[in-house]
Amino acid sequence: MAFKCPHCRAQSVSLKDKYKLGWWMTVSCPNCGGRIAAFPWTLLIMTMLYVWNLMWWVGLINFNHSYHYLLYLAICWVLLDLINIYFMPLCRLERPPQS
């Protein structure tokens, strides 16, 4: 499973690298060496959803004293990870200035 590089359009971004991009990291394309990041506004929305997911279910555990909400937290977390991997648009980063 590979994803398209926004620089060279080759299917060169690995699943592991795509997952890293969803966690505010940057990677370099193994094909063309171009730096890649996830689109920042979608990344911001995803991060807010992760935080909401954590606070919502931990809040319910806290108020209802029932630990089965941990299961819902895990299910939602996996769903968010899947959205993060399959629907997160990528964008190009310019090379850092050479000194």
Residues that bind Zn ion (CB under 5 A): 5, 7-8, 29, 31-32, 34
Give 13 or 57: the residue with its C-beta nearer to Zn ion.
13
Count CA atoms within 13 Å of residue 28 on its CB side: 7
Give 34 or 49: the residue with its C-beta nearer to Zn ion.
34
- Please name every residue paired with 11 in a beta bridge, in sequence order, or none if there are none: 4
In the complex, least distance from residue 35 CB atom to Zn ion, rounded to whole angstroms: 10
Give 2 or 60: the residue with its C-beta nearer to Zn ion.
2
Q: Smallest Cα–Cα separation from 81: which of 5, 1, 21, 10?
A: 21
